[in-house]
Amino acid sequence: MKVDWKVWLSGVTAAGLVVAGLTTGSVVAAKKKEVLNVAHRGASAYAPEHTLPSYKLGDKMKGDYIEIDLQMTQDGHLICMHDETLDRTTNGSGQVKDHTLSEIKKLDAGSWFNEKYPQYAKPEYAGQQVPTLDEVLEHFGPNKKYYIETKAPHVYPGMEEKLLDTLERHRLLRKNSLRKGHVLIQSFSQESLLKVHRLNPDIPLVQLLSYPSPATITDEELAAVKSYAIGVGPNFQMIDREFVQKVRKHGLDIHPYTVNSKEDMKKLIDWGVTGMFTNHPDRLREVLKGR
């Protein structure tokens, strides 16, 4: 998804935000020295993504955050799934938005992983259900940390309100929890993040970025991001040391995705990133322990 910066900046202006401003959540992570280890879709190299086994394994491997992508069912339930369609990670087919939760709960969300990655296959992965956001938060509780993405929010009107209602029910929007960074919300959609910011300006946000070629970003663009978010999340393959340092000089965090080799992890840490997404949280933990 290519970011149209002109449209993006005009959206910030239209929202009435002060470009030089900071959200109260901007103290999260940026003031810390450690690099955040974000378990991408759980420990998704070793277990079927966005299932409870994957999230549990990411937590066991000491990931700092459980990363959750959200889609919404026909009957308005938030579920944990990366794609807008069911085809890749279940034995179902079609759009998530065209299926009820009851229909999706009947699907097998794990056998595909055993077939694709036999070296990591386990009998218990077969028949895994697609979890709801409620189920994940209920299982891990309010003391864990969650990095949540609103996927395709234009497809799901009201997604942001449902997300905040769910977080509130699970006691994750308490000021103390937000200050400790128990929840980060990210999106490629600037509109979705601005909506969350209007609903609750205390929630720390991260603007995901996608580039078709090596990334560049201007001071004006970074100032616009800083008016509502604490950081950016670019594709690690599109950035360089200069990009990272420019983001940091603006007082923003930078959490590149998706970094799976130790060599790339080490390089990004040397460049000054403040966190990264990985399918191998165990590898990143080893790299960080070695430093």
pLDDT tens sequence across 116-157: 999 999 999 999 999 999 999 999 999 999 999 999 999 999
Task: Give the lowest-confidence range in 88-92, 211-215, 233-237, 248-252.
Answer: 211-215
Token pair listed for 86 = 């069911």
The mean pLDDT value of the chain amounts to 91
pLDDT of amino acid 33: 60
pTM exceeding the 0.85 threshold for the entire prediction: yes
Looking at the predicted structure, is the pLDDT value of residue 26 above 80? no
- Cα-Cα-Cα-Cα dihedral sign, residues 271, 272, 273, 279: positive
- Determine the Cα–Cα distance for residues 178 and 52; give it in Å rounded to an integer: 24
pLDDT of amino acid 281: 98
Say which residue the tokens 């942001």 belong to: 160
As to burial, measured by CB atoms within 10 angstroms (0-12 exposed, 13-18 middle, 19+ buried), residue 139 is middle
Looking at the predicted structure, is the pLDDT value of residue 175 above 80? yes
**pLDDT tier, 270 (very low <50, low <70, confident <90, very high otherwise):** very high
Q: Name the catalytic one among 50, 77, 82, 197.
A: 82
Across residues 170-176, what is the average pLDDT?
95
Across residues 64-74, what is the average pLDDT?
98
Clarify whether 255 is annotated catalytic. no
Clarify whether 82 is annotated catalytic. yes
As to burial, measured by CB atoms within 10 angstroms (0-12 exposed, 13-18 middle, 19+ buried), residue 179 is middle
Looking at the predicted structure, is the pLDDT value of residue 5 above 80? no
